[in-house]
């Protein structure tokens, strides 16, 4: 291929990236995992007449490398083809398939679009609706080259065609929002959906699919809304109905409680990304190949080195990797003083807080949390958003988490934080406030409350005692927090609560004790 042919490399490969134009749904049969990702159901809405991709002119899936965005896009196409939708209605362009697609990307895309419209879409009597699916669209951005046209203008112009829906994937919400705002698209014309690693609940339903149906299905919905929900208990100050909700959810799987408890360590070992890659085939997490953790690490570095520069200008991207390594070593055990981070990285505190930590949070890699009700925090806790990343960064194998109880407890702390972030989002979204959640910690005279989030300005304290140690201290810390902030509900999450006759214990004043595995499933 000569250099003059570079601008045709995408259009010449378009058929290879869209094999369903020739073979229909069978082109994807052997290329997708045996089960759908959990996000599939609210994106595709398989039992409804429309999908989330129809809700806005542009819908963006955002998340770090390897989390499953491409899989979701192809699962969407596969589902639509299986239901009888014409294959010509889907045009998929992966901008990360080769770096050549990123050279004069706007021109290459326009050429590919003209081919699609004339040669493929033109086969249909009525082309509406149809979907342009632009995977890893952020890879064509050149923030350091102002003379190179970004992808936003191409998307804006493509929307002039009636019946056209555009789906994009990127590394971060800001990569989609900022580019579309730059070209003048109104915020109401596009939406973004974060794609996160699989939750413990998803992992359980894969290991035990019979639990996903009927009366054995544990669901967070009654915790989020209704008379027995957490918001109702916070509003009324009455916790009895919430306790009954939790007991009902536990009763659904009471006969399988020991099995569910036994799977916690395996989920913590794998993390949400590898647990989906395993696809339910691995009975024991130690069966997962060590190369899987190396792939996880490579995906992390790809996220940092490819995506971070488009979000923030910083002295060295390598510092982000070092910060992740520090978080993996600390594992959320103790707050790290900002001054110590300044000394370690030889940058000022503003750079640490507003650049390094902010970028890692935007990329869904790491979240920095400070003390609740502290306007001038001097320290932060660093939580990686997937327990598999801890082992990948620490270069440890699956046996470490399975055999080392202290290491397992550290991973349990990290997973509980990640799931509490999801709980906070789900509860607040059900109340009409779908904003990015904030989860903090709190230290009192009696001890520490591990996680605190708010619902309509009312704090919800959650204390974790995974191995049963310091349970009385955690209870006293919850009690102190509730007295100081008039919080009507607090949770004590314990790793060994399943050994009691009544795993859901209603302690006064308003402290509810529940098993760790059930807490994860309800988040």
pLDDT, tens only, 145-203:
665 667 898 899 999 999 999 999 999 999 999 999 999 999 899 999 999 999 999 99
pLDDT at 60 over 80: yes
Looking at the structure, tell me whether residues 132 and 231 fall in a common domain: no
pLDDT at 379 over 70: yes
Q: Is residue 279 part of a domain?
A: no
Return the axis-axis angle of helices 318-330 and 338-345, rounded to nearest 10°: 140
Average pLDDT over residues 464-490: 92
Range of the domain at 230: 212-274+410-522
CATH code: domain of residue 165? 3.40.50.300
Looking at the structure, tell me whether residues 167 and 241 fall in a common domain: no
pLDDT band at 468 (very low <50, low <70, confident <90, very high): confident
Q: Is residue 374 part of a domain?
A: no
pLDDT at 497 over 70: no
Q: How many domains, in total, are found in the chain?
A: 2
Which one-letter DSSP state was computed for residue 237? -
Mean pLDDT of the chain: 92
What distances in angstroms separate CA 286 from CA 235, 267, 268, 270, 289, one per listed residue? 45, 11, 12, 9, 8
Q: Which of 138, 165, 194 is the last residue of a domain?
A: 194
Looking at the structure, tell me whether residues 11 and 138 fall in a common domain: yes
Q: Is residue 326 part of a domain?
A: no
Looking at the structure, tell me whether residues 419 and 474 fall in a common domain: yes
Contact 497, 514 (CB under 8 A): yes
The pLDDT assigned to 143 comes to: 60
Q: Is residue 201 part of a domain?
A: no
Q: Output the CA torsion 309→312→316→322 (10° steps).
A: -100
Q: Is residue 370 part of a domain?
A: no
Looking at the structure, tell me whether residues 244 and 155 fall in a common domain: no
The burial of 153, by beta-carbon neighbours within 10 Å (0-12 exposed, 13-18 middle, 19 or more buried), is given as middle
**Residue whose structure tokens are 């605190």:** 452
What digits encode the pLDDT tens for the residues 423-464?
999 999 999 998 899 999 999 999 999 999 999 999 999 999
Q: Which of 159, 194, 229 is the last residue of a domain?
A: 194
Q: Is residue 269 part of a domain?
A: yes
The pLDDT assigned to 123 comes to: 96
Looking at the structure, tell me whether residues 159 and 224 fall in a common domain: no
pLDDT band at 280 (very low <50, low <70, confident <90, very high): low
Looking at the structure, tell me whether residues 72 and 34 fall in a common domain: yes
The burial of 316, by beta-carbon neighbours within 10 Å (0-12 exposed, 13-18 middle, 19 or more buried), is given as exposed
């Amino acid at each position: 291929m000569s250099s003059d042919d570079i601008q045709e490399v995408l259009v010449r490969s378009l058929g290879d990236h869209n094999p369903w134009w020739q073979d229909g749904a069978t082109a994807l049969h052997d290329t997708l995992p045996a089960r759908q990702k959990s996000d599939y159901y609210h994106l595709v809405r398989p039992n409804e007449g429309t999908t989330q991709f129809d809700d806005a002119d542009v819908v963006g899936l955002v998340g770090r490398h390897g989390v499953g965005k491409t899989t979701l896009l192809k699962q969407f196409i596969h589902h639509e083809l299986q239901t009888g939708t014409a294959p010509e209605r889907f045009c998929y362009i992966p901008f990360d398939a080769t770096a050549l697609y990123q050279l004069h990307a706007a021109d290459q895309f326009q050429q590919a679009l003209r081919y699609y419209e004339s040669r493929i879409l033109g086969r249909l009597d009525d082309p509406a609706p149809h979907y342009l699916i632009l995977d890893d669209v952020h890879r064509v951005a050149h923030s350091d080259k102002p003379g190179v046209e970004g992808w936003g203008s191409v998307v804006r112009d493509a929307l002039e065609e009636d019946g056209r829906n555009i789906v994009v994937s990127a590394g971060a919400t800001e990569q989609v929002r900022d580019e579309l705002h730059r070209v003048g698209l109104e915020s109401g014309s596009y939406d973004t959906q974060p794609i996160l690693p699989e939750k413990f609940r998803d992992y359980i339903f894969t290991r035990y699919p019979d639990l996903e149906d009927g009366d054995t299905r544990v669901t967070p919905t009654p915790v989020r809304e209704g008379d027995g929900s957490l918001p109702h208990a916070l509003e009324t100050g009455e916790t009895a109905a919430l306790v009954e909700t939790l007991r009902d959810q536990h009763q659904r799987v009471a006969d399988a409680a020991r099995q569910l408890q036994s799977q916690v360590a395996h989920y913590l070992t794998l993390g949400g990304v590898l647990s989906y890659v395993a696809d339910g085939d691995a009975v024991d997490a130690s069966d997962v190949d060590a190369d899987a953790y190396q792939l996880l690490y490579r995906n992390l570095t790809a996220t940092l080195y490819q995506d971070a520069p488009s979000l923030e200008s910083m002295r060295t991207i390598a510092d982000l990797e070092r910060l992740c390594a520090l978080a993996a070593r600390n594992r959320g055990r103790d707050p790290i003083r900002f001054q110590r981070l300044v000394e370690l990285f030889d940058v000022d505190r503003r750079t640490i807080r507003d650049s390094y930590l902010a970028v890692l949070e935007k990329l869904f890699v790491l979240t920095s949390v400070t003390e609740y009700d502290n306007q001038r925090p001097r320290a932060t806790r660093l939580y990686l958003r997937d327990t598999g990343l801890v082992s990948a960064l620490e270069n440890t194998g699956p046996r470490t988490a399975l055999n080392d109880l202290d290491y397992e407890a550290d991973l349990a702390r990290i997973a509980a934080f990640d799931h509490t972030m999801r709980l906070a989002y789900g509860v607040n979204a059900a109340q009409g406030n779908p904003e990015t959640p904030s989860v903090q910690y709190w230290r009192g005279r009696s001890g520490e409350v591990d996680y605190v989030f708010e619902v309509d300005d009312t704090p919800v304290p959650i204390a974790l005692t995974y191995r049963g140690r310091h349970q009385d201290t955690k209870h006293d810390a919850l009690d102190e927090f509730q007295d100081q902030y008039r919080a009507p509900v607090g949770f004590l999450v314990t790793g060994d609560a399943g050994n009691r006759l009544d795993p859901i214990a209603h302690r006064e004043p308003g402290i509810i004790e529940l098993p760790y595995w059930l807490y994860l499933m309800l988040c």
